[in-house]
Structure 1
Amino acid sequence: MTYETLNVTIDGKLATVTLNRPDVRNAFNDTTISEITLAFDALAKQDGVRAIVLAANGPAFCAGGDLNWMKKMAGYTHAENNADAMLLAEMLRTIYQCPQPVVAKVHGDCYAGGMGLVAACDIVIAADVANFCLSEVKLGLIPATISPYVIKAMGEQASRRYFLTAERFGAAEAHRIGFVHELATPDTIDAKTAELVKALLGNSPNAVREAKTLVRDVAGRPVDDALLADTALRIANIRASEQGREGVQSFLEKRKPSWL
């Protein structure tokens, strides 16, 4: 598929989705939202793709919403605004629920809705020169649609501060509060990303998918009888799976598993 605002490439088992509006700092509009949703939905259905990197062209990762798009929204009715917001919400959910692990490679500044894109990913690597900002309240808005993912990523306490102040903060602070998993220099971020992707591709693809689902389903649940039964059933199922049996057998036989 040809995209207007993205570059999507597949190299063996790795897919890369690259935001490609560098002239507007990769700010997204309705076309970008639609294309990201379509791209991740399509990649989710490709069994040969075992990991996805979300990256961007140009000096910035993503500046949030495109100003022309936001000007157009100013004239929307309440119903039109709600429908438009739901498209953004669906885009974020498509990334969040993508069965393959998604790695965000944040090489430059990441603001507002761009932070939502990153928070919906599973693993975040950022260049130490990148800056972050939840700037919505400066415009009289709130980061509502992205909030489920951003709050999960950086926690309630940090969200209280940065949702309310709209302060810009650096990559070191983003790492400290847990929004970013790993920092790199601009010169090493590609190598760090490749190193992480290599680790992902070395694992059982079925187990990686199930582990991603496990985190999503278990987080925040009370440790009760229902959770014990659920987790016991999950490990029983995967032990009996083809890749589960192959993984244990290959370890005992000191050989590489079949997925390698």
Structure 2
Amino acid sequence: MTVQDTILVEKNQHGVATLTLNRPQVHNAFNETMIAQMTESLHQLAIDHSVRILVLKSTGKHFSAGADLAWMRKMMQYDATANFQDALALGKLMYHLHHFPKPTLAIVQGNAYGGGAGLIACCHIAITASIAEFCFSEVKLGLIPAVISPYVIQAIGQRHARAYFLSANTFNAATALQMGLCHEVVAIEELETKAHEMITRLLQNGPHALQAVNQLMNHLQTPSIDEDLVHMTAKTIAMLRISPEGQEGLNAFLEKREPSWVKTR
């Protein structure tokens, strides 16, 4: 097992690589270090011919809370160019996970918000504990889930995505299953067993055939998720972060108060 600051990377003798988010003290929230380490690990595992399957999981109670608070504070001080580069780094992480050549399996033991849910949408297969909850809460901060939107829309469809992007409502694992964000929902104590069953099933299939399936699906997806789209979504969120509404929303969240647009009686 390779231990990095924010992630764990392990590979067994069967060619199953496991990438584990390892910031349980902040509910596995992203910061720039985690994003960089995950992206580099994906690059290395993608070109490792001994890897047949990639498993994405996390330590602790929650799968991922999305953006880290300290990272959000830093982003507020960035200008438009720096914000774009920061957003582009997250966009590239999602892009490389989505286009990973071997089958990817997300094992979701707890809640996933914002970019955490985006990671699940990027994986080819997702198995979720019944206690997990999901939310795209960015609009509460005057932002939008821009860089994850192509993958979420592909997973759950535009109509479901629009409703949850607009409302920022939390939804449960049963709803995630019904919409297609995950493929199986099991009790938390059965999660590892079900994941093992899926891994065993995948290992019984031709490794080159599995990669060919992924290549075919990437070719057939409409609209195409390419680097131009990654840049466009990164530019969109970068501009919103430095807008007056985005700044007010982020400040309100960090100061634990309602933003100015929320009117109380």
When normalised by structure 1's length, the TM-score is 0.84
Q: Give distance in 1, aligned partners of 2:211 and 2:80.
A: 38
Offset of residue 219 of structure 1: 2.6
Aligned pairs for 1:35-114 within 5 A: 35-114=37-116
Counterpart of 2:132 in structure 1 is 130
Give the secondary structure class of the aligned counterpart of 2:188. Answer: coil
Offset of residue 196 of structure 1: 0.5
Counterpart of 2:152 in structure 1 is 150
Aligned pairs for 1:18-29 within 5 A: 18-29=20-31
Offset of residue 160 of structure 1: 1.1
Q: Give distance in 1, aligned partners of 2:98 and 2:179.
A: 20
Q: Deviations over 1:206-258 (max 9, x none)?
A: 0000111111111338xxxxxxxxxxxxxxxxxxxxxxxxxxxxxxxxxxxxx
Q: Give distance in 1, aligned partners of 2:57 and 2:186.
A: 14
Q: Which residue identity is paired with 2:151?
A: Y
Q: Give distance in 2, aligned partners of 1:68 and 1:145.
A: 20
Offset of residue 5 of structure 1: 0.2
Give the secondary structure class of the aligned counterpart of 1:103. Answer: strand
Greater RCO (Cα-Cα under 8 Å, separation 6 or more) = 2
Q: Does the alignment pair 1:3 with 2:37?
A: no
Give the secondary structure class of the aligned counterpart of 1:108. Answer: coil
Q: Which residue identity is paired with 1:92?
A: M
Aligned pairs for 1:202-213 within 5 A: 202-213=204-215
When normalised by structure 2's length, the TM-score is 0.82
Counterpart of 1:119 in structure 2 is 121
Give the secondary structure class of the aligned counterpart of 2:180. Answer: coil
Structure 1 spans left out of the alignment, 5+ residues: 222-260
Q: How many residues are aligned here?
A: 221
Offset of residue 44 of structure 1: 0.5
Give the secondary structure class of the aligned counterpart of 2:4. Answer: coil
Counterpart of 1:171 in structure 2 is 173
- What is the percent sequence identity of the aligned residues? 43
Q: Give distance in 1, aligned partners of 2:131 and 2:112.
A: 11
Q: Give distance in 2, aligned partners of 1:173 and 1:137.
A: 21
Q: Deviations over 1:107-163 (max 9, x none)?
A: 000000101111111001100000000010011110000001011011001011100
Match of 1:201 among 188, 197, 203: 203
Q: Give distance in 2, aligned partners of 1:201 and 1:218.
A: 25
Structure 2 spans left out of the alignment, 5+ residues: 224-265
Q: Deviations over 1:8-33 (max 9, x none)?
A: 11112101100000000000100000
Q: Which runs of 4+ in 1 moved over 3 A?
A: none
